[in-house]
Structure formats: C-alpha cells, structure tokens
Amino acid sequence: MSYLKTAILLAGLTGLFMGVGYLIGGATGAVIALVIAAATNLFAYWNSDRMVLSMYGAHEVDQSTAPDLFNLVAELAGRAGLPMPRVFVMDEAQPNAFATGRNPQNAAVAVTTGLMQSLSREELAGVIAHELAHIRNHDTLLMTITATIAGAISMLAQFGMFFGGNRDQGPGIIGSIAMMILAPLGAMLVQMAISRTREYAADDLGARICGQPTWLASALAKIANAAHVVPNPEAERNPATAHMFIINPLSGQGMDNLFTTHPSTENRIAALQQLAAEMGAHGGTLSASTRGNYPRRSPWGRPSASRGPWG
C-alpha cells in the first residue's frame, strides 16, 4: 500500500475520531479528540505491532525453541530479499496467521498453534510466504495502525455512551444510541477501507516466493474451512483486527457477515491455480535443510489432513 493511501485512511480515521468526540463534548470534545487522535497515530506508528501481538498472547520463538518454524521463515525471507523478521506463535486453536510491523526492518510473522498442527510443511511455507509478501509490499504498517485506531474509536464511543453523550447538542440518549450503532459499524468500515486487492497481490507474490502456488491454495482451503468451525475468541472481541489475518478469523455470526475483509477464498484459490498453470509444473522447492523428512506430515509431527499438492 502506498504512503498516500496510508495518509488518506489515517485522516479519515482521525475525522471519525473527532466526530465521536463532538458527540461527547461538542466543539471542545472534537478538539480534545483531535489531540488524542494525533497522539494515538504517533503511538500506533511505533507501538501498534507490539500491542496487537500482546492482544493475541503471541510469544516469540527462535531457532532453539522452534527450529523448524524459524528455519522455514529464514529461508523464505531470504528468497523474498527481506531481513529476518521476528517469529511469534499464538496459542490459538483456529489455524491462522498475520504479519505486522512498521517496515521490513521491524517486522514480525505470527502463526497460531492450530495452523502448525493442521498444515503440512509445504502448506505452511505458502502461508508464511504470503505474510512475507505483505511485509515486502509494506502492507503491515497500514494494517496494524488501522486496527489500533479502530479499537481506540470503539473505546471512545463506549466512553461517550457511558456518560450519555453531549447533552448541549440534543438529548443524551440519542447520542448514546447513535454511538452504540456507529462504533461497531466504524470498525467494520475500517476493515473495508483496507483494499482487498492487497490479498490478491500478497497471494501472487507469496506464491512466487515459495515457488508453488498450489501450496498456498491448499492452505487457504484448509484455513477457510476451519475458520467457520473453530472460533477465535480474541478476534471476536476485537473485530477491527480481522483484516490482518490471512483468512477472516470471525465466525460470521451476528453482524460479522454484513461486511467482508477478504476476497472470496474460492476466487483466491482460482487465481492461484491460474498462476500455477502459468508458472508450469516446475516451481521452487524447499531446501533440504529446512524441508526435513515431512512429505506427508505436518512439520510438528502430527499427520496432515491431506497429502497436499506435492504428494
């Protein structure tokens, strides 16, 4: 995503922040909200990645604690021409992953334990390559900052609802009801504002990084199927972060299914299959040092649900 698009989106979020402030305290509230938004933007630029990782209870791993995962990320980062990102694991049953960080030099890749347990090594390589593509495309700054500011907007709206809104501008109950409705809608609109074309771009580049589009296609199918069955409680509590994941982690219940943060999984898979045909049968393969002896098993010793496109 370009820096211009980032600036435009942050300006829109700031305007929404000021609007909620106006509902709470009139013109003075709008000015205070502007100051808070400016501070939030600055804070989010430097700290939003750590906040999101902490929100999901992600813990950092290295070559000694998770050698297979760490070495796989290292090889793919080398293929992508990127510095080695920090690697995190989330203790979450739903298979999913995201990347974060303000730039490639300060990036991190986070995967769930469910992802490591349900995918084969090649499928996992496809997912990690997709996340590295987001880092290389500079998507992660926008993705992480919007999640942080959207959460701040929701908290400000809840604060205004608690205190009854700006009574000088009308009945407090009206402002309260408006904020009750606009807060979740605002979070959804933030997700929609993140261009869904970035997922296609990351799929395309990620498939080229790992060398086999069918690896990522197979992974997307498994993750999408599981995401509708295995809930992600933290994502449900923080829907503004849904756009960060490779597949929407929300269950689709309630208002979640009114807006979508990701393109259709079927369309993404079709695009990857077309790319595979264009690239031909001979794509890249994992090196012997990181592939290990896992032709039909996940890299964590648990049998994979399917043999995958290589077996």
Q: Which residues are within 8 A (CB) of 228 and not within 5 positions of it... i.e. 6 or more apart?
A: 251, 252
Q: Could you tell me if 240 and 256 are in contact, meaning their C-beta atoms sit under 8 angstroms apart?
A: no
Q: Which residues are within 8 A (CB) of 284 and not within 5 positions of it... i.e. 6 or more apart?
A: 79, 210, 211, 212
- CA dihedral of residues 39, 41, 46, 52 (deg, nearest 10): 110
- 171: its two tokens: 């009945």
Q: Where are the alpha helices (DSSP H) in 164-263?
A: 172-193, 197-210, 213-227, 233-237
Around Cβ 15, how many Cβ atoms within 10 Å? Answer: 13
SS3 assignment, position 94: coil
Q: Could you tell me if 109 and 132 are in contact, meaning their C-beta atoms sit under 8 angstroms apart?
A: yes
Q: Which residue among the candidates 131, 199, 234, 278 is catalytic per the annotation?
A: 131
Distance CA(241)–CA(234), nearest Å, equals 10
131 in active site: yes
Around Cβ 93, how many Cβ atoms within 10 Å? Answer: 18
SS3 assignment, position 252: coil
Q: Which residues carry out catalysis?
A: 131
